[in-house]
Amino acid sequence: MNHYEAVFILNPVLSETQIEEAVKKYESLLTSKKCKIVHKEDWGLKKLAFTIQNKNSGFYHLLQFEGEGEIINTLEVEFRRDERVMRFLTVKLDKHAQQWADKRKKKIHSKPKAK
């Protein structure tokens, strides 16, 4: 099993419900193809470095998962077909990137929750 990260940017005009539906779509796609979702993060609405589709911001999401290499093509085809997705990037993690990702997860989980 290989380790992967997929970061995708969703259109900023989407509602909370539409964003949740989009994220769940990709989670269920991965799990249906026997991938294990290791970690996911919602980075929220961020300003883009440059304009994409006449938009200056987008909702960023990260999915970290384990699976076979064949799933990447299927996942990226779905990203391309989905009008809600403005950009995406899928990366295979080597051992150093995997260590860094594990450290990032621990750091996020150890932060005290804001009240």
Task: Identify the pLDDT of residue 114.
Answer: 54
- Domains of the chain in start order, with CATH, are 2-110 (3.30.70.60)
3-class DSSP state for residue 11? coil
106 band by pLDDT with thresholds 50, 70 and 90? confident
pLDDT tens figures, 35-70? 999 999 999 999 999 999 999 999 999 999 999 989
> Under 8 Å CB-to-CB from 7, ≥6 apart: which residues?
60, 61, 62, 63, 88, 89
pLDDT category of residue 28 using cuts at 50, 70 and 90: very high
The answer on pLDDT for 108 being more than 80 is no
The DSSP secondary-structure symbol of 74 reads H
For residue 112, the model assigns a pLDDT of 62
Question: Cα-Cα-Cα-Cα dihedral of 44, 45, 48, 53, to 10°?
Answer: 120
